[in-house]
């Protein structure tokens, strides 16, 4: 496994932050596009894991701030952005498969251990927890939010419930593929009152649109394949939950219409993990209220 990178510079009010963007090989014919910020004297490292329909650029603005003090990493999951899209016959796109990708990325870059905080949302959170169960010392803390750790369809939006059911999953996958533009335009603020809506960075929007269908498999396809084994891996997590010893914190948008906050409440209670419910916030707190994400990361390092 190896990595290559190219550099791009982004200015910041306090200091220039250099984003290194390149590829990391994490397996045969499997590479991840990643973004890294390396300050001269980092206080620690944070790895951000995106959700659907996002790419690693979801974290760019946050990285501009945190990158002054911390080494910041983010990558595109397989099937998203510019990362590999292997055929489903050789890579399952399940939470367990993503957990393997995550641990390989950490091993390849050498960032794991007590100096690492993993911040994972949506489809990134279950793989992060499965990886932490496999390797309790993978990070000093895992921050998760707005995801579905357990098989509780009643806490999920109807289309997500339908994606979990084999009888309806194929129709939902096709519908997602047919509505790319609508999803990228409205998914992030759907269900929020007008006063709480926010605009996405133009570069980020363009990157998601460009990366939606990059080869033979779309991001909606990858999302559907993830859901094909989602229930199985939710059951695995619930069965292994007593083995979760890595410190965990939970952050949730109180007005999340995709995955109800009660899912976060149950997960917090069952793991004794602190829960932070963000008022007037939807499914993507890191985009709607990035300062809260920054505070969580700094808090995880005790700063």
Residues 29-52 pLDDT 10s: 899 999 999 999 999 999 999 999
pLDDT band at residue 26 under the 50/70/90 scheme: very high
Specify the number of domains making up the chain: 1
pLDDT (0 to 100) of residue 264: 98
Structure tokens at 39: 């300050």
Query: In this model, does residue 141 exceed pLDDT 80?
Result: yes
pLDDT (0 to 100) of residue 6: 40
Full strand arrangement of the beta sheet holding 30-37: 3-10, 17-27, 30-37, 71-75, 45-49, 113-121, 139-145, 248-253, 275-278
The pTM is what?
0.94
pLDDT band at residue 63 under the 50/70/90 scheme: very high
pLDDT (0 to 100) of residue 4: 44
Kindly tell me the sign of the dihedral angle through the C-alpha atoms of 203, 100, 290, 145: positive
Neighbour-count burial of 185, counting CB atoms closer than 10 A to its CB (0-12 exposed, 13-18 middle, 19+ buried): middle
Q: Distances in Å between the alpha carbon of 71 and those of 4, 13, 102, 256?
A: 17, 18, 17, 30
For residues 68 and 43, the answer to whether their CB atoms sit within 8 Å is: no
| Residue 153 to residue 145: CA distance in whole angstroms | 17
Q: Phi then psi for 238, rounded to 5 degrees?
A: -65, -40
pLDDT (0 to 100) of residue 12: 34
Place of tokens 């965990």: 248
Taking all residues of the chain, what is their mean pLDDT, rounded to a whole number? 94
Which residue range(s) make up the domain with 272? 3-300
pLDDT band at residue 210 under the 50/70/90 scheme: very high
Query: In this model, does residue 78 exceed pLDDT 70?
Result: yes
pLDDT band at residue 17 under the 50/70/90 scheme: confident
pLDDT (0 to 100) of residue 15: 54
Of the chain, the percentage scoring pLDDT greater than 90 comes to 91
For residues 60-84, give the mean pLDDT: 97
Query: In this model, does residue 252 exceed pLDDT 60?
Result: yes
| Residue 130 to residue 266: CA distance in whole angstroms | 18
For residues 196 and 256, the answer to whether their CB atoms sit within 8 Å is: no
Of the chain, the percentage scoring pLDDT greater than 70 comes to 95
Q: What is the CATH number of the domain that holds 38?
A: 3.40.50.1820
Query: In this model, does residue 256 exceed pLDDT 50?
Result: yes
**33 Ramachandran zone, left/alpha/beta (phi>0; psi -120 to 50):** beta
CA nearest neighbour of 55 among 200, 218, 211, 181: 211
| Residue 154 to residue 188: CA distance in whole angstroms | 21
Query: In this model, does residue 1 exceed pLDDT 70?
Result: no
């Amino acid at each position: 496994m190896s990595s290559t990178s190219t550099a791009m510079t982004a200015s910041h009010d306090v200091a220039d932050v250099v984003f290194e963007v390149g590829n990391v090989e994490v397996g045969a014919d499997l590479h991840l596009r990643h973004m890294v910020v390396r300050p001269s004297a980092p206080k620690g490292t944070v790895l951000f894991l995106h959700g659907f329909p996002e790419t690693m650029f979801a974290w760019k603005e946050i990285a501009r701030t945190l990158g002054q003090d911390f080494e910041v990493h983010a990558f595109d999951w397989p099937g998203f952005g510019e990362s590999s899209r292997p055929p489903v016959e050789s890579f399952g796109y399940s939470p367990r498969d993503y957990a393997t990708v995550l641990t390989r990325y950490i091993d390849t870059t050498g960032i794991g251990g007590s100096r690492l905080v993993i911040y994972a949302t949506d489809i990134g959170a279950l793989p992060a927890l499965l990886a932490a169960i496999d390797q309790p010392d993978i990070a000093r803390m895992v921050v998760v939010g707005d995801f579905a750790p357990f098989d509780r369809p009643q806490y999920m939006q109807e289309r997500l419930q339908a994606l979990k059911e084999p009888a309806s999953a194929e129709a939902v996958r096709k519908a997602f593929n047919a509505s790319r533009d609508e999803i990228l335009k409205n998914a992030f603020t759907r269900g929020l009152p007008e006063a709480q809506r926010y605009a996405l960075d133009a570069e980020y929007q363009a990157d998601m649109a460009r990366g939606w269908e990059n080869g033979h498999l779309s991001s909606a396809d990858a999302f559907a394949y993830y859901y094909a084994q989602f229930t199985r891996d939710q059951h695995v997590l619930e069965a292994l939950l007593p083995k979760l010893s890595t410190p965990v914190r939970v952050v949730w948008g109180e007005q999340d219409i995709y995955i109800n906050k009660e899912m976060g409440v149950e997960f917090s209670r069952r793991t004794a993990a602190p829960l932070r419910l963000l008022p007037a916030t939807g499914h993507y707190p890191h985009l709607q209220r990035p300062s809260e994400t920054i505070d969580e990361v700094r808090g995880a390092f005790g700063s």
